Amino acid sequence: MMTDTPLVSVRDLRIGAITDSGRKVEIIRGVDFDIVPGEILALIGESGSGKTTIALSLMGHTRRGCAIEGGTIRVGKHDVTGMTEKQRARLRGTEVSYVPQSAAAAFNPSKRIMDQVVETTRIHDLMPRARAEAHARDLFRALALPDPDTIGERYPHQVSGGQLQRLSAAMALIASPELVIFDEPTTALDVTTQIEVLRAFRRVMQESGMAGVYVSHDLAVVAQIADRIIVLKGGETQEQGTTEQILNNPRHPYTKELLAAFDPVPHVPLAGRDDSADTPVLEVRDLCAGYGAVKDGEPAAKVLDSIEFRLMRGRNLGVIGESGSGKSTLARAVAGILPAYRGSVLFDGQTLAPDLAQRSKEDLRRAQIVFQLADTALNPAHSIANILARPLRFYKGLHGAACEREVIRLLDLVHLPATLRHRLPSELSGGQKQRVNLARALAADPELILCDEITSALDTVVAAAILDLLKELQGELGLSYMFISHDLSTVEAICDDVLVMYKGKVVEAMPATRMSQDATHPYSRLLISSVPQLDTGWLAGLEQDPELLAAFSER
């Protein structure tokens, strides 16, 4: 394979960008690689590593404000860097095509799916429309889409996310290109859906023999599909090698760090706390909540259905489930943001009012909630000191120097320097913002913190550091966490017990450490088996009951 003439060769690629403040920065700094025909190359890195920028440059496209400033990109016999925009347009779709990260956003909402799938053949005048549509239907079949003959007649909002992602692959493959770029195509999907999509991509790529570039931050996903991996950081190549070599014999410390984030860190419960005779810090009985107009005491859209659980003091409860399972609604109902219409929430043995507005200040103080996106949870116009001072004033009546001291102490608790308090949220990194978000919850001196997907928007290494911080805080302050996540390994790393939710119901409750062995409910088993493993043969060897899959995943 190595003797083939490369299909793509990139030499010393440099891409510059102009920041919002008008400063020029180099975001890709001298990257080299080759792709031989039929090979799938993965670009791995965290946000800001430049992986998508490199992939798009293979099509001669740079996003607004960016420009290719040096180096050469050759695709087939074309020198992409030297081409005019018109020539590049002729290359796009025909020789190099693109599968977007979010197909839901990449499909034009006002046009039928079929029109968009065959559009490439119309733009480049490649084949008669009838033939293009027939070809599209073949691709729909190959990608295991339901109703392949009629699905093209629908509008994008009428099919599911997993289906749209496969339809976007059909859109990329319609003109039989030589190279397909996959830009994090499964990141926005649930794990059970991801499996189906990955399988379909793999099969189609193997059968067609096209070369591919697979952009992802998830090594386990990449392990299933790529032949070779390039590890990127800050626009530079850290390590390049075959998938086996990168996974089993990484040389660069950064690659090792990425792999280490996958190692299961078994959670060690706090000693001497597990006394079942104690009153649970949080107990939920027969909790039902929903959205919409309330009629006869019940809302129009019921989401939570008779949820019951107990969380003992000093222990952590994980809530896992896929999008739409009701896990965030559960956090909102417990916090009282969305008042439950039936059932009760007991805190330390005392029943809380369903509605936030009716709870006492003391009740509010003892249970705090931390949201997923620190970007939207922190007021962009307020300094960090201001953000942290607010709960201190509200709950403890602190002012002036005392308040300032407390702000500094809180920042220290979450390992942030005291000088950071004069900055605005926009001047902080994603990880720092999430720490501030956590510090604000700690300001109330709570006993329970509801964490709603707080690590989901973060890069793996940053997320691992936040988890370590949570554990450390638990040891120091004796907190209990209710930890909501769609990511099983995160839950495994921090929780003692786990609730598996599906369509607003708890289908199973079990100890986190025994999750993979003890799960008995078919949905829990499906969910657990769908988490990609760092093993190149995992997807090929994975056997899931297709009927089970059809029953539980949105296909």
Partner 1 sequence: MLRSPTTWFLVGQRLGIAFITLIIVSFAVFFATELLPGDVAQILLGQAATPEAVAGLREAMGLDEPAIQRFIGWLTGLAQGEMGRSYVNNIDVADLLGGRLQNSLRLAGIVTVICVPVALSLGILAAMFRGSWMDRVVSTATISVISVPEFMVATLSVLIFAVWLDWLPALSYGVDVDSLGAMLRAYAMPVITLSFVVSAQMIRMTRAAVIETIETPYVEMALLKGASRTRMVLVHALPNALGPIANAVALSLSYLVGGVIIVETVFNYPGVAKLMVDAVATRDLPLIQSCAMIFCVSYLSLTTLADMIAILSNPRLRQ
Residue ranges that bind partner 1, judged by CB under 8 A: 56, 59, 61, 64, 89-94, 97-98, 100, 102, 105-111, 119-120, 123-124, 155, 157, 171
- Could you give the angle at the alpha carbon of 85 between the alpha carbons of 84 and 91, nearest 5°? 95
What minimum distance in Å lies between the beta carbon of 98 and partner 1? 4
Find the shortest distance in angstroms from Cβ 426 to partner 1: 20
Report the nearest approach of partner 1 to the CB of residue 12 (Å): 24
- Torsion angle of the four alpha carbons 138, 140, 144, 148, in this order, in degrees rounded to the nearest 10: -90
Q: Pick from 504, 512, 509, 442: which is nearest to 478 by CA?
A: 442
Q: How far is CA 289 from the centre of its chain?
A: 26
Contacts of 526 (CB under 8 A, 6+ apart): 192, 544, 548, 549, 552, 553
Sheet strand arrangement including 342-347: 298-311, 282-295, 342-347, 350-352
Q: How far apart are CA 223 and CA 219, in angstroms?
A: 6
- Give the residue with the Cβ less far from partner 1, 172 or 519: 172
Q: Which is nearer to partner 1, 107 or 347 (CB)?
A: 107
Supply the minimum distance, in Å, between the C-beta of residue 234 and partner 1.
Answer: 24
Q: How far is the CB of 168 from partner 1 (least distance, A)?
A: 8
Nearer to partner 1 among residue 88 and residue 382 (C-beta): 88
What CA–CA distance (Å, rounded) separates 352 from 450? 15
- Closest by CA to 273, choosing from 311, 318, 309, 312, is 312
Of the pair 91, 384, the CB lying nearest partner 1 is at 91
Query: Which residue's structure tokens are 């909540």?
Result: 289
**DSSP at 37:** T
User: Which pairs from 508-514 meet CB under 8 Å and 24+ separation?
Assistant: 509/309, 512/267, 512/318, 513/266, 513/267
Cβ distance to partner 1 smaller for residue 93 or 532: 93
Residue 329: φ, ψ to 5°: -60, -35
> Cβ 50 to partner 1, closest distance in Å?
18
Min separation Cβ 140 and partner 1, Å: 18
Nearer Cβ to partner 1, position 97 or 224?
Answer: 97
Which CB, 75 or 507, lies closer to partner 1?
Answer: 75
Greatest Cα-to-Cα distance within the chain, rounded to the nearest angstrom: 76
Q: What token pair was written down for 397? A: 């009546």
> Smallest distance from the beta carbon of 36 to partner 1, in angstroms?
23
Task: Kindly report the three-state secondary structure assignment for every residue of 308-355.
Answer: EEEECCCCEEEEECCCCCCHHHHHHHHHCCCCCCEEEEEECCEEECCC
Q: How far is CA 376 from CA 149, 249, 494, in A?
A: 42, 40, 25
Least CB distance to partner 1 at residue 199 (A): 24
**Does residue 111 sit in helix, strand or coil?**
coil
Is 106 or 353 the residue whose CB approaches partner 1 more closely?
106
Residue 103 CB, shortest distance to partner 1, in Å, is 9
Report the relative pairing of strands 179-183 and 211-216 from DSSP bridges: parallel
417's enclosing H/E stretch is: none
Nearer to partner 1, 102 or 306 (CB): 102
| Overall residue count recorded for the chain in this entry | 555
User: Between residues 166 and 233, which has the closer beta carbon with respect to partner 1?
Assistant: 166
Given the complex with partner 1, which of 120 and 240 has the nearer CB atom?
Answer: 120
Q: State the nearest-atom distance from the C-beta of 293 to partner 1, in Å.
A: 17
